[in-house]
């Protein structure tokens, strides 16, 4: 007589879990397939030790010409590291060598280093005088302040405050002019690309201390002149060019600086879609900013303008049409990347000293091919040992471990490719070590689940019911272990620098993916396999029942019937 099949009531809908996992795979690898350059397949970004990169030596300089102190160099190194990480360039090296700082960026060049090594001295100065730098080019119209009660006031030579701006302050911030002159090819250099070139001998550069002679001699059509590089003195008036080289300014002393900035982020103007950098000021900085706009408000042009100066170059010089007691928005017709670079530099603060950068040099991979092969060989041996142990101890279930590891490896590879593209994460040998260590963490989750499953079957339960009960008991242990590992990786990431951060990052990433694999693949797969009769064979699974024999297959159980006194 054939044994009836077990009831399907309460069965896990494994198809839903596999569909969810398949959807995640499809999204990740669709991104990998289409996010690469052209139609090429996206590949992981490699670190400095695996692919080499660019290196530049920074020589610090102070206003007085004295040698910078160790505390200044240490502070500069910390800010540079924050900028590099904020720009998404992982595995970069910033170290002090003697009285110089060496910055190495994987796969980088001079332009990629310049955005993080500039001094980023942000100052807010009132305009004293402005004029066209190269007549008869018409200068960029001054920016205006957009009121919160309606559209921006018309840009005119003598702006008149409206009733709304006269009665209450405006908090919507600064808006730059929409019109932009078309510069010549020689006039398109931005401060971020050339501010580290130093001051050419005998040349008056943007940011120099004001004298009548300096103002007359400043030639903003010369890219070297408007590149900045002069030591900025906040308490002195300066001469400066705008970033396109079409307008030159005589600017008053700085009333607000980058140290007053609380935070910065890149966004878009909700009305025009133009890239803008949003600035938030600290408490005392907000007071100084409000006071500065109060001084400029209702003055005659051009003294009613406040120039926003970065490294001696005017980013924008908006007209103040009301007192501003809120945040500011910097717009200067720059691209999304330029806006993000500017926001990162402002967010992480100004460097305590300025630098003169030497020529960028290409550096080869610091790790030889022999060492790389040895590291990968060690990882392969460790992975093979895990697979062999699983097959010998758990027999057929070892293939579940292998399949889960392959799924985890696929997810990890795709995520590393995407993170390299979107966040600039570079995979180094330390990161590879983190991936190898994570194999043990992933295998540990399987061991916990399998051992709990063995205990349930040994207590007399059928494999099908044992899978569900074992999962409930093992789930908490797996989550606790992964949480501890993730916390350790997060803490290590934030307290370390260099290659150790790469190790912590890949370890944390693999730990999170381990949770997804166990919940969406390993558990549903075991639930599905437990429906087959071969799953109850000890030779294949290594599971034994209470008496050391084959596991129970379920079915009706015999019960002991005690006769009543009448029947006896």
DSSP string, 390-406: HHHHHTTHHHHHHHHHH
d(CA 81, CA 289): 29
Evaluate whether 247 touches 140 at the Cβ level (below 8 Å).
yes
pLDDT at residue 568 greater than cutoff 50: no
pLDDT of 178 over the 70 cut: no
Cα 147 off chain centre by = 34
pTM strictly above 0.85: no
pLDDT at 24 over 90: yes
Burial class (CB in 10 A: 0-12, 13-18, 19+), 389: middle
CA distance linking residue 562 with residue 568, whole number of Å: 10
Count how many Cα atoms sit within 13 Å of the Cα of residue 267 in the half-sphere of its side chain: 12
CATH domain 14-44+366-541 topology: Multidrug efflux transporter AcrB transmembrane fold (1.20.1640)
Residue 353's contacts (CB-CB under 8 Å, 6 or more residues apart) are 60, 61, 62, 68, 72, 73, 76, 119
CA 449/CA 484 separation, integer angstroms: 18
Q: Is 494 exposed, middle or buried (0-12, 13-18, 19+ CB in 10 A)?
A: exposed
d(CA 70, CA 72): 5
Position with higher pLDDT, 488 vs 201: 488
DSSP element (H, E) containing 30:
helix 14-34
Q: Which of 254-258, 261-265, 542-546 bottoms out in mean pLDDT, i.e. has the lowest?
A: 542-546
- What average pLDDT does the segment 193-217 reach? 72
User: 361-363 and 354-357 as β-strands: parallel, antiparallel, unpaired?
Assistant: unpaired
Residue 169: pLDDT over 60: no
Are 123 and 256 a contacting pair, CB within 8 Å? yes
For residue 312, pLDDT over 90 is answered with no
Q: What percent of the chain has pLDDT over 70?
A: 69
Q: Are 87 and 117 in contact (CB under 8 A)?
A: no
> Rounded to a whole number, what is the distance in angstroms from the first to the last CA of the chain?
34
Confidence (pLDDT) at 279: 81
Q: Answer whether residue 367 shows pLDDT above 80.
A: no
The lowest-confidence range among 115-119, 175-179, 438-442, 453-457 is: 175-179
Distance, in Å, from the CA atom of 513 to the CA atom of 27, rounded to the nearest integer, reads: 15
Q: Does 253 score more than 90 pLDDT?
A: yes
Task: Give the pLDDT score at 239.
Answer: 94
CA angle (135, 141, 143) in 5-degree steps: 145
The SS3 of residue 284 is helix
- Residue 23's pLDDT is 94
Whole-number pLDDT of residue 22? 92
Answer yes or no: are the C-beta atoms of 510 and 434 closer than 8 Å: yes
User: What counts of helices (H) and strands (E) characterise the chain?
Assistant: 16, 15
d(Cα 378, Cα 416) in Å, to the nearest integer?
A: 21
> Average pLDDT, stretch 493-521?
86
Picking from 357, 424, 364, 346, the residue whose alpha carbon sits closest to that of residue 102 is: 357
For the cut 80, the answer to whether the pLDDT of residue 361 exceeds it is no
**Which backbone phi and psi does 523 adopt, to 5 degrees?**
-65, -50
**What is residue 140's DSSP assignment?**
P
CATH 1.20.1640.10 domain residues, the chain: 14-44+366-541
Indicate whether 526 pLDDT > 80. yes
More confident residue, 102 or 66: 102
Average pLDDT over residues 465-471: 87
pLDDT by residue (tens digit) across 368-416? 566 667 777 877 888 888 888 888 888 888 888 889 889 998 999 999 8
Count the neighbouring beta carbons within 10 Å of the beta carbon of residue 351.
24
Distance, in Å, from the CA atom of 177 to the CA atom of 180, rounded to the nearest integer, reads 8
10 Å CB burial of residue 266 (0-12, 13-18, 19+) is buried
Query: Cβ distance 54 to 363 under 8 Å?
Result: yes
Beta-bridged to residue 145, according to DSSP, are 174
Beta strand extents in 107-233 (DSSP E only)? 122-132, 144-145, 174-175
What pLDDT band is residue 138 in, cutting at 50, 70 and 90? very low
Distance between CA atoms of 202 and 220, rounded to whole angstroms? 15
Q: With b meaning 16 or more CB within 10 Å and e meaning fewer, what string describes 171-197?
A: ebbbbbbeeebebeeebebbbbbbbbb
Q: Could you tell me if 181 and 132 are in contact, meaning their C-beta atoms sit under 8 angstroms apart? A: no
Sequence-separated (6 or more) residues with CB below 8 Å from residue 49 = 91, 365, 366, 367, 428, 429, 499
Q: What letter does residue 358 receive in the DSSP assignment?
A: -
pLDDT at site 318: 82
Which ranges constitute the DSSP H helices of 228-316? 283-296
* Contact call for residues 332 and 265 (beta carbons, < 8 A): no
pLDDT of residue 483: 92
Q: Which residues, 6 or more positions from 11, have their beta carbon under 8 angstroms from its beta carbon?
A: 527, 531
pLDDT per residue as tens digits for the range 141-166: 444 443 333 333 333 333 333 222 22
Looking at residue 421, what is its pLDDT? Answer: 78
Q: What is the pLDDT of residue 567?
A: 43
In this predicted structure, what is the pLDDT of residue 270? 81
């Amino acid at each position: 007589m054939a044994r009836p099949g077990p009831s399907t009531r309460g069965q896990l809908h494994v198809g839903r879990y596999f569909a969810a996992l398949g959807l995640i795979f499809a999204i990740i690898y669709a991104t990998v397939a289409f996010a690469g350059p052209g139609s090429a397949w996206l590949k992981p970004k490699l670190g400095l030790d695996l692919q080499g990169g660019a290196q530049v030596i920074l020589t610090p300089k102070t206003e007085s010409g004295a040698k910078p102190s160790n505390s200044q160099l240490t502070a500069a190194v910390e800010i540079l590291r924050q900028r590099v990480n904020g720009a998404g360039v992982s595995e970069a090296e910033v170290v002090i060598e003697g009285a110089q700082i060496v910055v190495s960026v994987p796969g980088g060049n001079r332009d990629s280093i310049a955005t993080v090594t500039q001094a980023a001295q942000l100052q807010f100065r009132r305009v004293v005088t402005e004029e066209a730098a190269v007549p008869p080019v018409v200068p960029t119209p001054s920016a205006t302040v957009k009121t919160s009660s309606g559209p921006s006031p018309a840009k005119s030579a003598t702006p008149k405050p409206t009733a709304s701006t006269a009665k209450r302050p405006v908090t919507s911030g600064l808006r730059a002019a929409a019109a932009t002159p078309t510069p010549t090819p020689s006039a398109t250099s931005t401060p971020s690309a050339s501010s580290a070139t130093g001051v050419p001998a005998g040349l008056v550069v943007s940011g120099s201390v004001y004298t009548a002679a300096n103002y007359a001699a400043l030639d903003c059509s010369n890219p070297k002149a408007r590149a900045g590089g002069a030591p900025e003195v906040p308490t002195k008036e300066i001469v400066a060019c705008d970033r396109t080289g079409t307008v030159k300014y005589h600017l008053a002393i700085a009333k607000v600086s980058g140290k007053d900035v609380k935070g910065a982020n890149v966004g878009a103007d909700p009305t025009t879609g133009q890239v803008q950098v949003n600035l938030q000021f600290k408490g005392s900085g907000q007071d100084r900013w409000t006071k500065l706009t109060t001084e400029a408000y209702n003055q005659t042009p051009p003294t009613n303008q406040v120039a926003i100066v970065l490294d001696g170059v005017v980013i924008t010089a908006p007209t103040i049409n009301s007192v501003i007691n809120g945040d500011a928005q910097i717009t200067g017709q720059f691209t999304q990347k330029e806006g993000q670079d500017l926001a990162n530099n402002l967010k992480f603060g100004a460097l305590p000293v300025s630098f003169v950068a030497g020529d960028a040099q290409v550096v080869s991979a610091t790790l030889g091919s022999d060492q790389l092969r040895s590291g990968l060989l060690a990882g392969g041996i460790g992975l093979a040992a895990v697979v062999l142990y699983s097959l010998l101890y758990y027999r057929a279930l070892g293939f579940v471990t292998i399949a889960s590891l392959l799924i985890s490896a696929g997810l990890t590879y795709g995520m590393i490719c995407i993170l390299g593209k979107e966040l600039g994460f570079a995979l180094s040998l330390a990161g590879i070590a983190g991936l190898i260590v994570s194999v043990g963490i992933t295998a540990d989750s399987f061991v916990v689940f399998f051992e709990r499953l063995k205990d349930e079957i040994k207590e007399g339960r059928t494999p099908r019911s044992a899978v569900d009960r074992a999962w409930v008991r093992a789930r908490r242990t797996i989550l606790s272990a992964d949480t501890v590992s993730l916390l350790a990786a997060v803490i290590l990431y934030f307290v370390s620098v260099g290659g150790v951060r790469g190790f912590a990052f890949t370890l944390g990433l693999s730990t999170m993916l381990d949770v997804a694999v166990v919940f969406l693949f390993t558990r549903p797969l075991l639930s599905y396999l437990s429906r087959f009769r071969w799953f109850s064979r000890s030779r294949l699974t290594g599971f034994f029942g209470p008496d050391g024999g084959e596991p129970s297959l379920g079915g009706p159980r015999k019960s002991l019937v005690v006769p009543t006194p009448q029947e006896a």
